[in-house]
Amino acid sequence: MTFTYRTIVGGGGTATPERPRPDRTYSGWIGTTVRRVSWADVVVFLGVLGLLYGVVAVSKGTTATFSAQSVASVDTSPSRLPYDAARSLLRMFVALAASYAFTLVYGYVAARNRRAEKVLIPALDILQSVPILGFLSITVTGFIALFPGSYLGLEMASTFAIFTSQAWNLTFSFYNSLTTQPADLDEAARLLGLSRWRRFWKLDVPSGAIGLVWNGMMSMGGGWFFLVASEAISVLNRDYALPGIGSYVGAAIHDGELSKVGLGVAVMAVVVVGVNFVFWRPLVAWAERFKNEQTESAVEPRSLVLDLLRRSHWPRKVGQLRRRLAEPVNRLGDRVFGHDRFDSRSVSGRGWVDVAFTIAGVGAAVVGVVELVRYVTAEEGLTIFVQPLWQGLLTLCRVVILVVVSTVVWVPVGVRIGLSPKASRIAQPVVQVLASFPANFLFPFAVWAFVRTGLTLDVGGIFLMALGAQWYILFNAIAGAQAIPSDLRDAVDDLGVSGWLRWKRLYLPAVVPAYVTGGITASGGAWNASIVAEVVTYGGTTLTATGLGAYIARATAVGDFHEILAGVAVMALYIVGINRLFWHRLYRVAERRYALA
């Protein structure tokens, strides 16, 4: 006989038989339980199996060989679109995983060590300022040389280019979350004697989780935005093309086939919405647990996929296995990284080690700048910088207009979306699709509109730049609003604070740290977007604006390394200068005045 025992409190502890629950089988006097397989288990198992099969099937093409003639050709048959979309999606997720790994290491070191911060944050400004075409010009030849005759070299170059469009935004977000971390949580972690390793996983990563999720969505959108440039590579008078939706649409645009452009746009919209439903929406709902608040939120974000996973037994089993494997790793981390006995943000740190690190970093930077200037000026002298400096001023004006207008428009919208789980559930996929549309995909429509209205690209380029840059501000405003503790919102409700005073005293101060991250990455993204927004081509029509982006695009197309480096150096000068003079000062203000104490 199979049964369990149930103790009846207040009845003398009488044991009475109970019918087995339908999802369990029972055996033995104690009642050893074995869970039956549920429909959720089957669905999750089949989903994981299908995902693994898809990754293996698509990955086979990454190691195929190519010839010099075939590598520049793109098959624009509609039947190729599903496979091309899968190849692009694989590159996006590989680059995203690398971006998160880079973010956790780089952002942590920059936030926890003042001396390292003085080197790493300016370096991050410079890395953000280097356009994707600049990275491709330098890295494509090297990756191809590592894997001659194999698509793997091109795949690595393309994935690295996508990585450069994703990593900097995430890193700034994590760095900002660490520098504005609530002081009481930091003190509690130290009083509990947590090692640096455990403190990182128990406090630092969870405190930045919401920002990491929303900026991850934005980073993936940035990767989609530059997909054409990273899959249809044209550098040093050589053309390379990889199977992907970006190269597909790029070839359709070049051939003037508007129907195929529309088909590619539709497929990409389906892919973006699908990724949002299966991946990002569950992460948003899951990250809600890391909100810093004293009371439980009345309405939380929901996800059908997350609910399905919670119904299944597989995640629980994986979690148990993870905990078993994590403990020895944690003990090793305790021994390797030790315990915090001082605050490296305020104390000088490890003395001569930090000094040596700083000297080495500054020395390497100085040597690099000297060698760069020497190489660039070898033929024309310093006059080579005159044209990019002048054209950079014009692009700077476009960037400033874009950031100001985006701030006025999208910060209020982002706060409203972030405060309402229902609005977030509706707006998230829409914003994801809008943020993910590469400007190149809209070139045919832009050319038609500009020609018909007589609008020059000098003005119209601002709208194309906005397609890739304005969303950084919106996504960070949403993340900042979602991170507002529910108890603070309840407190201002109880006090009857409403209208502009509510915005002034709660909403705007609360989103300032996240906004600064969005502003600094939107500014850098606008400079990067200028390269594809200041030169627009469709069929036989080409529109060109006067600006630094057009200068770099032209130099890259003809393979003039001196002008490429001169343009990239000037762009870095503008971006780093703006960041130093404006954005990083706002960072300090946000850290001192608007962090949750």
Contacts of 427 (CB under 8 A, 6+ apart): 417
- Residue carrying structure tokens 């746009």: 265
pLDDT at 97: 93
Contacts of 45 (CB under 8 A, 6+ apart): 314
| Domain 71-341+354-593 CATH (choose: 3.30.565.10, 1.10.357.10, 1.10.3720.10, 2.30.38.10) | 1.10.3720.10
- Residue carrying structure tokens 């007589």: 454
Query: Pairing relation of β-strands 15-18 and 541-544?
Result: unpaired
Dihedral, CA of residue 514, residue 519, residue 522 and residue 527, to nearest 10: -150
Distances (CA, A) of 521 to 69, 434, 481, 526: 38, 17, 18, 8
Angle between helical axes of 209-225 and 421-436 (0-180°, round to 10): 30
Contacts of 114 (CB under 8 A, 6+ apart): 344, 345, 346, 348, 349
pLDDT tens for the chain, 597 residues long, are 333 333 333 344 444 444 444 444 444 434 444 456 677 778 777 888 888 888 888 877 777 676 555 566 777 788 888 888 898 899 999 999 999 999 999 999 988 887 788 888 888 887 877 777 667 767 777 787 787 777 788 888 888 888 988 888 899 889 988 888 877 777 777 777 778 888 888 888 888 888 898 888 888 877 887 777 778 776 556 677 788 888 888 788 777 777 888 888 888 888 888 888 888 888 888 887 777 665 555 556 677 888 787 777 777 777 677 777 767 776 776 676 766 544 444 444 455 656 666 676 667 667 767 777 777 777 777 888 889 999 999 999 999 999 999 999 999 999 988 888 778 777 777 776 777 666 666 767 777 788 788 888 888 888 888 887 888 899 888 888 887 877 788 888 888 887 888 888 888 888 888 898 888 888 888 888 888 788 887 666 778 889 998 888 888 777 777 888 888 888 888 988 888 888 888 878 877 777 665
The separation between the first and the last C-alpha atoms of the chain, rounded to the nearest angstrom, is 60
Q: What residue segments make up the domains of the chain, in order of their start?
A: 4-35, 71-341+354-593
How many angstroms separate the CA atoms of 168 and 129, rounded? 10
How many angstroms separate the CA atoms of 13 and 188, rounded? 43
pLDDT at 119: 81
Number of other residues whose CB lies within 10 A of the CB of residue 270: 12
Tokens of 222: 């940035």
How many angstroms separate the CA atoms of 519 and 579, rounded? 10
pLDDT at 10: 39
CB neighbour class for 308 (10 Å; exposed up to 12, middle 13-18, buried from 19)? middle
Tokens of 404: 């100001």
